[in-house]
Chains A and B, each alone.
Chain A
Amino acid sequence: MTIYLPIAELPVNVFTLLAMGVAVGFISGMFGVGGGFLMTPLLIFLGVSPAVAVASVSTHMAASSFSGALTYWRRGQVDLQLGAVLLAGGLAGTLAGVIAFKVLRSFGQLDLVIAVAYIVLLGTIGTLMVVEGFGAVIRQRRGVKAPVARPGAHPLFLRLPFKMRFRQSHIYVSVIPVVTISFAIGFLGALMGIGGGFILVPALIYLLRVPTVTSVGTSLLLTLFTMFAAIIMHAVLNQTVDAVLGLVLMIGGTVGAQFGARAGQTLKAENLRLLLGLLVLAVGLRVAGDQIARPADLYSVIIDERTP
């Protein structure tokens, strides 16, 4: 059964879209990532223009992150205070990222910068997470207890001034690294067109020592707010939000996110981190593969958006 998308201006199979929504929603609910870094390329592959794909995926991400965040909220695994501080840094970073985007585009090599950023970022984070995850799994098999974090063992950057107590996350750290992390994620998110959840979750776990489930819940809250702002921005500035496309993705996505969130609850935290690490690494390798392999056609044609 096909359906015509009024803004994307092409017909697509409803069941293909629903299946994509369920699959990406499952991953997003399980790991607390927005899933934009998976969904946007899939839509572009279907023939949706990148501008419409990015804008419409934000509606899908808003719906599944709200649905996921509610589940974590009921279990008391969302840190509102931490979310608010992260949001402040994230919005400032987004603004800086949008400006950098324009500057880079004027030099004409934006695509390359984005691809290299993906490879470096995903490769590094993915490798770190996989190595740590394997270590944790092996430790558990052997029955060795993980080293307990003591207050004195905090790295230096967490002991900077402006300390704040985040009760829900059981941490007492300086605000400076929290804002820096969210600024960097907002910056990269605007530059690379991603929500940044898959960077935020590991950053919260490894750098700020927030418990894994609270990291996921708080990241979902942050994704919800960012995506809400993104929908309005895309709708007003570019008129590229396809409500029909968004609705189909959302229905599949929210259903998938429910199952994903439940699967995430039953998995051990170590396994969850290892799986997310493998996923991030796989996407990084895929981007690297695309850049290294000889493309089927050396020429590509895109619609020039600047001259209507």
Chain B
Amino acid sequence: MSAARRARIRRGALRLLLLAAALLAWPGNARADGLVLSLSKTRVTITSSFTGENIVLFGVIEPGADMPATGASPAHDVVVTVRGPNQSFIARRKERRLGLWINVDSRSFLAAPSYLAVLSNRDPMLMSDADTLRQEQAGFGNNRLLQRIGADYADVVPQDPFRQAFLRVKQAQGLYVENVSGVEFIAPRVFRAVFPIPGRAPIGTYEVVVKVFTDHILTQRAALRLDVAKVDFEQAVAGAAQDHPWLYGFICAFGAIAVGFCANIVFRRD
């Protein structure tokens, strides 16, 4: 192989890589092999009237090399996982001691998703074998939740009471969502999923991961990003509190006194 030919191949490969990167970087759309995804919105903007929003994900599974383009297309299973920015949490357990319910035990959850939505077209447990599902973190119970155990970090068995309590509390807050019929196939290769971004959703970049199983084997995967950000007045207030804390503090303090003074004048009777 001549040096010129080798260089041409390298250039060609580079061009392909750039094209793939450009496609992936295109906001709201992703294309990985045979999976095309699109979000109804790539940026959730929080204004003063924000109370939450539903985001729609569309996906098309293109016929790939592993599936025949002709004949009956095999059944596909889809798992959509949306993860919010990571946060650390402490879970505590109460017990009765001397008549009082007090915290006796606690666990630290390290870098757990602050928001988690898992949607699928059917129970993920039916899509593949348990090991594959756990490895791919497909399914609500299969998401890794690292706990601090001594000096180590590890995930524990799904039956662990702290792990279950953590998921239960987060679900009650509306920040963890599980829907085993949340992915709807419009056509054999076209699906649609709706996930809620609640009003109290944390700010940051969310990751939307889609995994397609065909005949119990993972065949496609693709990821998208979704930004949740404050804008306008909300951003101005949060920014001022962060960047000019002294000024912000004094404005708040004197503002409070001004409001108190106004109220006193307005209601003055004597």
Pick from B99, B169, B238, B270: contact of A6, CB under 8 Å: B238
Q: Mark A96-107, 1 if CB is under 8 A from B, else 0.
A: 000000000000
In contact, B264 and A71 (Cβ under 8 angstroms)? yes
In contact, A241 and B248 (Cβ under 8 angstroms)? yes
Which residues of the other chain, B, contact A71 by a CB distance below 8 angstroms? 264
A213 vs B174: C-alpha distance when bound (angstroms) = 48
Q: What distance in Å separates the Cβ of B117 from its nearest Cβ neighbour in chain A?
A: 18
A70 adjacent to chain B (CB < 8 Å): yes
In contact, B90 and A302 (Cβ under 8 angstroms)? yes
In contact, A2 and B51 (Cβ under 8 angstroms)? yes
In contact, A301 and B249 (Cβ under 8 angstroms)? no
Which residues of the other chain, A, contact B246 by a CB distance below 8 angstroms? 232, 235-236
Which residues of the other chain, A, contact B100 by a CB distance below 8 angstroms? 112, 115-116, 291-292
Q: What distance in Å separates the Cβ of A36 from its nearest Cβ neighbour in chain B?
A: 14
Q: Mark A233-265, 1 if CB is under 8 A from B, else 0.
A: 111100101011011001100110110001000
Pick from A6, A9, A62, A112: contact of B257, CB under 8 Å: A62
Interface residues of B in 71-121 (CB under 8 A from A): 87-96, 99-103, 108-110
In contact, A4 and B95 (Cβ under 8 angstroms)? no
Which residues of the other chain, A, contact B238 by a CB distance below 8 angstroms? 6-7
Q: What distance in Å separates the Cβ of A1 from its nearest Cβ neighbour in chain B?
A: 9
Which residues of the other chain, A, contact B255 by a CB distance below 8 angstroms? 59, 243, 246-247
Interface-central residue, A236, A241, A246, A255, by most chain B CB under 10 Å: A241
In contact, A239 and B241 (Cβ under 8 angstroms)? yes
Asked, given contacts A4-B48, A11-B51, A303-B87, whether A297 binds B165 with beta carbons under 8 Å apart, the answer is yes
Q: Mark B44-68, 1 if CB is under 8 A from A, else 0.
A: 0011111110000000000000000
In contact, B101 and A62 (Cβ under 8 angstroms)? no
A14 vs B64: C-alpha distance when bound (angstroms) = 53
A40 adjacent to chain B (CB < 8 Å): no
A267 adjacent to chain B (CB < 8 Å): no
Pick from A62, A109, A239, A303: contact of B256, CB under 8 Å: A62
In contact, B252 and A235 (Cβ under 8 angstroms)? yes
A11 vs B50: C-alpha distance when bound (angstroms) = 7
Q: Mark A1-29, 1 if CB is under 8 A from B, else 0.
A: 01110110111000000000000000000
In contact, A299 and B264 (Cβ under 8 angstroms)? no
Which residues of the other chain, B, contact A3 by a CB distance below 8 angstroms? 48-49
Pick from B91, B99, B261, B270: contact of A74, CB under 8 Å: B270
In contact, B168 and A297 (Cβ under 8 angstroms)? yes
B43 adjacent to chain A (CB < 8 Å): no
Interface of A, helix, strand, loop or mixed by DSSP: helix
Q: What distance in Å separates the Cβ of B179 from its nearest Cβ neighbour in chain A?
A: 21
A298 adjacent to chain B (CB < 8 Å): yes
A161 adjacent to chain B (CB < 8 Å): no
Task: Name the CB-closest residue of B to A239.
Answer: B241
Q: What distance in Å separates the Cβ of A183 from its nearest Cβ neighbour in chain B?
A: 24
Asked, given contacts A74-B270, A112-B103, A292-B100, whether A301 binds B259 with beta carbons under 8 Å apart, the answer is no
Which residues of the other chain, B, contact A243 by a CB distance below 8 angstroms? 237, 241, 248, 251-252, 255
In contact, A11 and B260 (Cβ under 8 angstroms)? no
Task: Name the CB-closest residue of A to B241.
Answer: A239
A67 adjacent to chain B (CB < 8 Å): yes
In contact, B256 and A63 (Cβ under 8 angstroms)? yes
A232 vs B253: C-alpha distance when bound (angstroms) = 7
Pick from B48, B230, B260: contact of A70, CB under 8 Å: B260
Q: Mark B183-220, 1 if CB is under 8 A from A, else 0.
A: 00000000000000001101100000000000000000
In contact, A250 and B46 (Cβ under 8 angstroms)? no
A300 vs B251: C-alpha distance when bound (angstroms) = 36
A109 vs B105: C-alpha distance when bound (angstroms) = 11
**Which residues of chain A have a CB within 8 Å of any CB of chain B?**
2-4, 6-7, 9-11, 47, 59-60, 62-67, 70-71, 74, 109, 111-112, 115-116, 227-228, 231-236, 239, 241, 243-244, 246-247, 250-251, 254-255, 257-258, 262, 291-295, 297-304, 306-308
Rank and list the top 9 A-B pairs by shortest CB-CB distance, nearest first.
Answer: A235-B249, A254-B263, A299-B165, A66-B260, A10-B200, A67-B260, A11-B199, A304-B88, A63-B260
Q: Known pairs A2-B199, A116-B100, A234-B249. 5 more at Cβ < 8 A?
A: A4-B234, A66-B261, A292-B100, A298-B95, A301-B89
A–B Cβ pairs within 8 angstroms, 25 of them: A2-B51, A4-B47, A4-B50, A11-B50, A11-B200, A63-B257, A63-B263, A66-B264, A67-B261, A67-B264, A70-B260, A111-B103, A231-B252, A235-B241, A235-B248, A239-B241, A239-B245, A241-B249, A241-B252, A254-B259, A255-B267, A291-B101, A299-B92, A304-B90, A307-B110
